[in-house]
Amino acid sequence: MNASYDVVVIGGGIQGAGVAQAAAACGYRTLLLEQHTLAAGTSSRSSKLVHGGLRYLESGRIRLVRESLREREILLRIAPGLVARQDFFIPLYASSRRTAGHVRAGLWLYRLLAGGSVGGFERVPARAWEQLDGIETAGLKAVFRYGDAQTDDVALTHAVARSATEFGAEIRVGTRFVGAERAGAGYEVRSVHEGVVATCETRALVNATGPWVAQTLSRVLPGPPRLPHDLVAGTHIITEGALGQGCYYVEAPSDHRGVFILPWRGRVLTGTTERLYTGDPGLVAPTPEEIAYLQATLAAYFPGLSTVVAESFAGLRVLPKSQGDLNGRSREVVLLADAPRPRLISIFGGKLTGYRRTAEQVMERLGLVLPARAPRADTSRLVLPMG
């Protein structure tokens, strides 16, 4: 007899773990399948930030920023050992594209959208610039401080997954999704673990495989809807050194793109880049050009820090196809369903900060077809387990 579930989730990154937690907290029998280990892909290769996305204000993504700021506050409350408030500094030079007035207006709107939380913002007086981790002061015109938050993306994913199991979800790592076929009021799902093929039935299927989202859909019958999209690679480098005052949001000297320079486990994390990627998602890696770009950015702002790369990594973002440069593309998550009353939902894109709300939206859609269950918890109030 095949096992039977209400919800089967494919993919063990932060989005998949979030959906598994939300489904289990709603009282549904839930299974998560992950072919490698939890957070093996994009969810271990982020900028480690829980933030509203200040730069998205420039492209008019007000709703995305407001929602992200709301989720930031929720995560600060429910994950106190995993998500921590941080000071962020924006230095402005004679060569900067953005003016002090431009940045002040953006930070004012950012604070307004956040409801005035995380300390607002201020202009750092010139007498305090020498205390900012050795930042370059030649040509420096202004520095602004504002508040956001930082996390360990892998630890956060594992904590969300542990929370899901506490509410009865099953998580199977090292288990590859083979395929699914529509059967009655749901799907029959096939997977393989250590060479053994298993079959189960589910009322609903969630594709949370990140950059593998299209490949996963190709294994589902009948063929579900597709969404034209691009994979965008982003590289980070880790160098020796320390930043004691907080995080820095700077303009890359060569093209004025926003780049973060952050403290990370006693070293310095710099990123990220953006380039189209068309290869195997499992083989994405930093390029020499990306590494040099980030080294040049770090050196321009912190000439006293080493630019010797101790580690580097690249992750992939899923962005809907559109006109214009990559930097201006929408970062809003797209939930693609197989029908108005969906049995299959695929998650395209999504931010680390917004994983909980994305999972909530998935369950709202699946609530149209799933049977009523007694909810066990509200994930916006559920404190995540440490471990």
Provide the pLDDT for residue 249: 98
What does the pLDDT average to over 321-342? 84
Query: Of all helices (H) and strands (E), which one includes residue 100?
Result: helix 100-113
Provide the pLDDT for residue 267: 98
* Whether the predicted pLDDT of 334 surpasses 90: yes
* Whether the predicted pLDDT of 174 surpasses 60: yes
Q: Whole-model pTM?
A: 0.96
Mean pLDDT of the residues in the chain: 95
Provide the pLDDT for residue 386: 85
Q: Please state the separation of Cα 87 from the chain's center in Å.
A: 20
What does the pLDDT average to over 367-384? 96
- At 324, is the pLDDT very low, low, confident or very high (cuts 50, 70, 90)? low
Structure tokens given for 67: 């929602």
Is residue 267 within 8 Å of residue 238, measured between CB atoms? yes
Query: Kind of pairing, strands 30-34 and 3-10?
Result: parallel
- At 1, is the pLDDT very low, low, confident or very high (cuts 50, 70, 90)? very low
User: Which of 86, 208, 82, 84 lies closest to 156 in space, CA to CA?
Assistant: 82
pLDDT digit string, tens, across residues 64-91? 999 999 999 999 999 999 999 999 999 9
User: Percent of the chain, pLDDT > 70?
Assistant: 98
What does the pLDDT average to over 340-356? 96
- At 2, is the pLDDT very low, low, confident or very high (cuts 50, 70, 90)? confident
pLDDT digit string, tens, across residues 43-56? 999 999 999 999 99
User: Which of 114, 11, 14 lies closest to 353 in space, CA to CA?
Assistant: 14
Distance, CA of 50 to CA of 72 (rounded, Å) = 6
pLDDT digit string, tens, across residues 95-133? 999 999 999 999 999 999 998 555 589 999 999 999 999
pLDDT digit string, tens, across residues 222-246? 999 999 999 999 999 999 999 999 9
Query: Of all helices (H) and strands (E), which one includes residue 237?
Result: strand 229-239
